[in-house]
Structure 1
Amino acid sequence: MNAVLVSSLLNAGLLLLLGAALYAAPSALLNPGTVPFGVRVPPSRTQDPRVGAVRRQYRAAVLWATAAATAAAAGLGALLDGVAAGAVAGLPLCAVAAAVWLRAHRALAETKKREQWYAGLRQGVVADTSLRTDPVRVPWAWSVPSYLVIVATAAVGTAVYPTLPETLAIPTRTGDGTRYHEVATTFWTAFSLVFGQLVGTAAVLALVAAVLRSRPGLDASRPRAGAVRHRRFLAATSRALFAICAVSDLMLLGLSVMVWSGVRSTAPLFAVVGIPALVTFGIVAGLVVRVGPAGQRLVEGRDTEGAENTGLVQRDDDRYWHAGGTVYANGGDPAILVPCRVGMGWTLNLGNPRALTGMIVALVALGSAALATAGLFA
């Protein structure tokens, strides 16, 4: 099989995966059922024919766009090396999906307003103060593997540092494949990936701490059951984040060993990077399937079984959500992180000055780290 065919198949496969992810975006697998296309609807309307109609229209458009983008990626694969063809063809596909998503969002919002879907319903929000007085604890035991990997990496580096050559070969992915950039051997270049482990692990710790303090999206009709489910959701998500962190640290350990030993073979590089990537994908997929958005697939427990029903529906808060339900801005909400409406996870409350300050600080820190790394290996 020649290189041109391999490149075409690789790029076509990447576009098919991207198309599958976009196709699944409005499904209950990734989004709470009461916010289709980022629009809040009453529980009784989740199976409304209008919701199904816009979902089918979105998926039909994504299918046609995926077919065209996949064909384009396969053709461009004969002209462009690596995954460049997939990137070129993937941008229009994402643009089409975003445009169709926004159209579906507007259609549902207009239908909801015109037909007054919330007329006569008692709207409300609920809170569980025990999540503040007795919060879910950081699962420190799950962070231990990351610390052990970092210590092992530092120990190996310390042992081999006196025997390292005058220059080190740093692998870099380019459009033409993997290239190795020669840099002078110093303490900072030799242990650069160890510093990456430290920074990455610290970032995950900060993320877990922030997630555990985030505002829960409790169901107004069943607050007690929602609180139990939310606790289990936070625990499962925190463990998954620490597991991904440990896998990433293992990948950096493998890359460090390759740099220190001078190995330039492509097969070990693919194994060192590819296997952790597959494991990470498995962890994320398992979390999505087992837990679901906001933990909706988790069993609530026997202590919450029964006919709990407050008679409330979740408050219609669409006015605080923008860009198709992906951006949240509410100056009256003290929360910094809130549950996403589109996809799993959390998003910043851009109406909160503390969230904006934190985002700016994080961007400055990431930019500084990128510039420092670029200068280190220049």
Structure 2
Amino acid sequence: MASRLLAGCLALLLFLTLIGGGVLYFLQYQQKVAVDQAHTRALELYHQTKRPKNTDIDPAKRAEALAVWRNEVIPKGGRKPFVAEALYLVAQNIAETEPDTARDYYQRIVNEFPESDRHGEATAKLAGFRLRTNPEEAKTLYSKVLDASGDQNLKAEALWGMIRVEDNPEETPSPEIRERYQEIIVQYPDSEAAGKARERLNAVHRQMIFEDPNPNEFKKVHIISKGENLLKIANAYETTVYIIEMLNGVSSTSLRQNQQILVPTWGKVLAVVDKSDYELRVYRDSDKHFLIQYKVGIGEKEWKTKRGEYIITNKQKHPPWPDPKTGKMLKYEDPEYPLGERWLGLSPPNNPNARTGLGIHGTNQPETIGTSSSAGCVRLTNEDVIEAFAVLREKSRVIIQE
């Protein structure tokens, strides 16, 4: 009797165990499905691929996506491959507001998801955090990215990071470091790293060109000969009278024989207007080495700035301007005059006499820099256009690209 009772109890226990296991499996399966569905929903909210054409991303929906990832997918998704994607996208969006959490998310991807497509990017991002606190660890992480990644943007980021480990931001970088930044700009021109390299060199080059009173790699001493004037000197160095005046505070009427002045040594220059970044970049034309850059405004939707290659065919201060929207001829004294302090007219290289109406100019609306709001031209702040007017000479090439 006792043995039959024991057998019955064991059978019941086995039955209950099987039922419990089934229920647990079902609940785990339900959770898996729920997490999968949450991730799919978050991806749609984040990327909004079904939104109407020519409409912007809805930031409220994107914020909802981040909340779904943080509250549902990341805590409950375990080691599922898509959790790495969730970690990366959340970290990318909170890096400025919650840097510690972002760093921890990148660290999780590096540690827990070595096969993820985001592993290399997370390693580079983590190295960026380590730049400030542990430069040697950052260097090791960037080296791993260089060794493992075939992605050109990641390689550029790692190369930039390796340079930053050696580059003290409080000092002028050595010629060797500056050359390494130039290599990133030339080899990976559209990468985020190239943008950061240009930003660093822009600050350094401006100091060397416009503030350093001594000769350096951008300018040399020229001794005035009998009968020389600034136009003759400018032509000899393939530069402009205006930049020589700017660097020395002189004019042709004030020159003296045997006087020493500084003249630019970069020769012909090339300007590239990048519409997507709202930047005008100046390069040495001979080897495409980056010199300096400016933030710009470009044409609004109805008056798009036309891409293509041009040359500067006329340079003027305060020319009258026929408003293409109203037909009214505007003068510098008019409050609505849009050209600011300088005008550099552009024409096709094969037809330099053609009037395109396209140009580079200043503005009476500096708040529009960095936006698409002009009538098709490239606009700079008045301070910047005065400088660009001095750097760019007639017949300089200007490439406008998307």
TM-score normalised according to structure 2 size = 0.19
Give the structure, 1 or 2, with the largest relative contact order (CA under 8 Å, sep 6 or more): 1
Determine which structure has more spread, i.e. the larger CA radius of gyration: 2
TM-score normalised according to structure 1 size = 0.19
